[in-house]
Amino acid sequence: MNPPDEQRRILIFAMKLGYQTRAFDEAARKLGVELVFVTDRCQRLDDPWHDRALPVHFEAPEEAAYAVMQAQRGKHVDGVLAVGDRPALAAAYAARGLGVTHNHPVSVEACRSKLRMREVFRDAGVPVPWFRDVMLNATPEPALLGIEYPCVLKPVSLSASQGVMRANTRKEFLAGAARLKHLLDSAEIQATREPNLDRMIVEEYLPGREVAVEGLVTEGELRVLAIFDKPDPLEGPFFEETIYVTPSRLSRAEQAAVEKSFADAARALGLMHGPVHGELRLNERGVWPIEVAARPIGGLCARALRFRMSDKDEAIGLEELLLRHALGLPGKDARREEQASGVLMIPVPKSGVLEEVKGLDEARAVKGITELEITARLHDYLAAWPEGSSYLGFLFAKGETPAYVEAALREGHRKLRIEITPRLPVEHPVTKRI
């Protein structure tokens, strides 16, 4: 008989291997745990230093899970983590097949569909705006659908606010629906083979302040790791993210209401184990979960979070915290450090080819700025929102207070001079008709 396989091992499902998975790799080395990466972008690895990734197709999650189970046959797996929305369902199936504590695939599936999520919330008594499932194949007539204004049009399963638009009038609704159809029909989006690319969800526009919440669920119990304020008004017509700052400046009572609403939403979805990230809005009618995802905060934003087990211990990153949680190691209940911290997801000012970003040194020299990384590649075409979904880069700040951090991020951003050459103007084929 073979000796028992005692190597601790965690599977990380990620779209591509890059800055976020590298942080997991560093934490794993420190903890002496082996990481097995599962990705569907193997042909385009940005990390040649890494050669252990298992290639799968995330759009076929059960097949992907089966391939992973075959590859891990005879090996012990301690945990499964998904980084990003697209890999989450394959991760849930694989965890189930491997007998690893995780979320049920049905819960993850509900997180992946904005429509299903609204149905689950409604049925569980979690506040929801009115919502409609609208096919995009024929021009929808808002009056027949009972649409009122303002409303929000969104794709069912994309992320990062891609394709999300506010409409205040029938004319804007029709233009938005046509624009969304055009986006969903594009070769790039069709290549994702996401389900539901033929429809949209339309819902009531919820005014109010927005926060993002990072949490960790252990056997159904949610612990909130951080509440991020989003100090820029997110009133549309498009909804790209900008500044996140924690700790929140909401009152204690408001923060408690946010935590309760987030926990109710996660419970309604049946999320049982692992990282959760959510967006919620607050107004005089209460707290409204806009979205809950069964994954940690995306992009480079995790770098805004550092945790300490005690005053004496060195701070650890979110990736290490998540590995400790998956392995049941001490430190999984570490608290966020005291300092205020924030990140600016650097917006794409207009679509076009990124020629140059100037002022990097000036931005880095701003007091409070701790890090600046331009993640977009020079000379690549960048799409602005709503068609776009990736930021130009990330700017980080730390300081005594959230107000200081916010001011540093704004000042750092002002120093950047982003040169984008627009492509030759191409009339939008559908919106032109309206």
Return residues touching ligand ADP (CB under 6 A).
114, 129, 152, 154, 158-162, 164, 203-206, 210, 234, 239, 279, 290-291
- Nearest approach, Cβ of 45 to ligand ADP (angstroms)? 26
Please give the Cα distance from 315 to 320 (Å, whole number): 10
- Nearest approach, Cβ of 303 to ligand ADP (angstroms)? 20
Nearer to ligand ADP, 210 or 214 (CB): 210
- Nearest approach, Cβ of 294 to ligand ADP (angstroms)? 12
φ, ψ of residue 236 to 5 degrees: the values are 85, -175
- Nearest approach, Cβ of 176 to ligand ADP (angstroms)? 13
Return the residue nearest ligand ADP (CB atom). Answer: 239
- Beta-carbon count within 10 A of 36 CB: 18
- Nearest approach, Cβ of 418 to ligand ADP (angstroms)? 23
Nearer to ligand ADP, 116 or 324 (CB): 116
- Nearest approach, Cβ of 126 to ligand ADP (angstroms)? 14
Please give the Cα distance from 297 to 277 (Å, whole number): 6
Question: Strand 335-336's sheet: what is its strand order?
Answer: 316-317, 306-308, 335-336
Bridge partners of 374, per DSSP, are 393
Nearer to ligand ADP, 234 or 382 (CB): 234
- Nearest approach, Cβ of 104 to ligand ADP (angstroms)? 21
Nearer to ligand ADP, 183 or 408 (CB): 183
Nearer to ligand ADP, 20 or 161 (CB): 161
The distance in angstroms from the start CA to the end CA of the chain is: 72
Q: Which amino acid is at 265?
A: A
Packed helices 88-98 and 105-112: angle between N→C axes, nearest 10 degrees: 180
Which of 341, 349, 362, 336 is closest to 388 using CA atoms?
349
Decide if 290 contacts 279 (C-beta within 8 A): yes
- Three-class SS of residue 177? helix
Nearer to ligand ADP, 79 or 299 (CB): 299
Decide if 382 contacts 388 (C-beta within 8 A): yes
- Nearest approach, Cβ of 147 to ligand ADP (angstroms)? 13
Distances in whole angstroms, Cα of residue 411 to Cα of each of 209, 217, 254, 323? 22, 36, 29, 35
Nearer to ligand ADP, 78 or 203 (CB): 203
Say if residue 237 is preceded by a cis peptide, omega within 30 of 0.
yes
The number of angstroms, rounded, from the C-alpha of 277 to the middle of its chain's C-alpha atoms is 7
Question: Strands (DSSP E) along 331-375, which ranges?
Answer: 335-336, 340-346, 352-358, 369-374
φ, ψ of residue 166 to 5 degrees: the values are -95, 145
R_g (Cα) of the chain, nearest Å? 22
Nearer to ligand ADP, 161 or 255 (CB): 161
Nearer to ligand ADP, 258 or 357 (CB): 258
- Nearest approach, Cβ of 16 to ligand ADP (angstroms)? 19
Question: Strands (DSSP E) along 235-273, which ranges?
Answer: 243-246
66 Cβ neighbours under 8 A, 6+ residues apart: 97
- Nearest approach, Cβ of 365 to ligand ADP (angstroms)? 32
Nearer to ligand ADP, 129 or 359 (CB): 129
Decide if 200 contacts 156 (C-beta within 8 A): yes
